[in-house]
């Protein structure tokens, strides 16, 4: 009698072969030329080993790095001359050079990233307005705030904060002085649209030569207040 198609199929043949009582050893599908290093008894429970991945260093996806606090200008250097501007009480545009501000004088020049910005308006400029008397008592002749804003904005800021004559608010509108001393702060990638401004700093200058330079990292406000300058003088 002919066998059925199922009985002659490869799977049926393999199943019958594996269950044959004539096979004394378990059938191994490993090559007969290689002996396995170990065998598990049929009753042993197989426990998988957890896979462990090791990294010697964490992945970093940020392309930014901590900037080094540096500038073209440094203590002991003579300031480059440049022209700054302001509007007088009658709204007439006036100019003053850096050499006029500092020659044969003791001057404090401090810079802010922008007029009307929070830290500049609430802390930095007010600190020098408040401490102007104490600074001048130490021999300071001129205190000037410099920003890469136009003269109209600087006058409006002065009026908004009710700043008198104790601190000059000067415009470095094109950033010429800021670039000359290497203190540019590029904020063009920020959605607020500040563009290239000045890093925050405060410097004490005698006869045009930098004696103290408190330069901040970007727009931070940690070492450039009037209080910091008073401690350094």
Pairing state of beta strands 168-171 and 184-187? unpaired
Q: Please count the other Cβ atoms lying within 10 Å of the Cβ belonging to residue 3.
A: 8
Q: Could you tell me whether strands 209-215 and 168-171 are parallel, antiparallel, or unpaired per DSSP bridges?
A: unpaired
- Residue 124 is classified by DSSP as I
Q: CA-based angle 99:105:109, to the nearest 5?
A: 65
Query: Which helix or strand (DSSP H or E) is residue 196 part of?
Result: strand 195-198
Query: Is the Cβ–Cβ distance between 75 and 179 less than 8 Å?
Result: no
Q: What residues contact 108, with CB distance under 8 A and at least 6 apart?
A: 128, 135, 140, 142, 143, 144, 202, 203, 204, 205, 229
Distance CA 204, CA 78 (A): 12
Q: Establish whether 120 is a catalytic residue.
A: yes
Q: Which of 84, 87, 120, 185 is catalytic?
A: 120
Q: Which residues contact residue 46 at a Cβ distance below 8 angstroms, ignoring those fewer than 6 apart?
A: 40
Structure tokens at 66: 């901590």
Catalytic residue IDs: 120
């Amino acid at each position: 009698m002919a066998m059925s198609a199922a009985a002659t199929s490869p799977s049926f043949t393999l199943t019958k072969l594996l269950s044959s009582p004539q096979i004394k050893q378990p059938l191994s599908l490993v090559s007969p030329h290689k002996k396995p290093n170990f065998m598990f008894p049929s009753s042993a429970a197989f426990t998988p080993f957890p896979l462990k991945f090791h990294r010697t260093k964490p992945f970093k996806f940020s392309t930014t790095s901590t900037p080094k606090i540096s500038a073209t200008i440094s203590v002991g250097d003579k300031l480059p001359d440049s022209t700054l501007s302001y509007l007088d009480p009658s709204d007439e545009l006036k100019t003053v050079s850096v050499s006029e501000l500092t020659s044969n004088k003791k001057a404090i020049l401090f810079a802010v990233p922008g007029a009307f910005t929070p830290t500049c308006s609430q802390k930095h400029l007010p600190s020098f307005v408040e401490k102007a008397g104490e600074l001048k008592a130490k021999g300071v002749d001129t205190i000037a705030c410099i920003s890469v804003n136009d003269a109209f904005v600087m006058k409006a800021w002065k009026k908004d904060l009710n700043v008198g004559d104790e601190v000059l608010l000067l415009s470095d509108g094109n950033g010429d002085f800021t670039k000359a001393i290497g203190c540019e702060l590029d904020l063009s990638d920020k959605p607020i649209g500040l563009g290239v401004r000045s890093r925050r700093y405060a410097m004490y200058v005698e006869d045009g030569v930098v004696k103290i330079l408190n330069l901040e990292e970007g727009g931070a406000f940690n070492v450039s207040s009037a209080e910091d300058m008073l401690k350094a003088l």
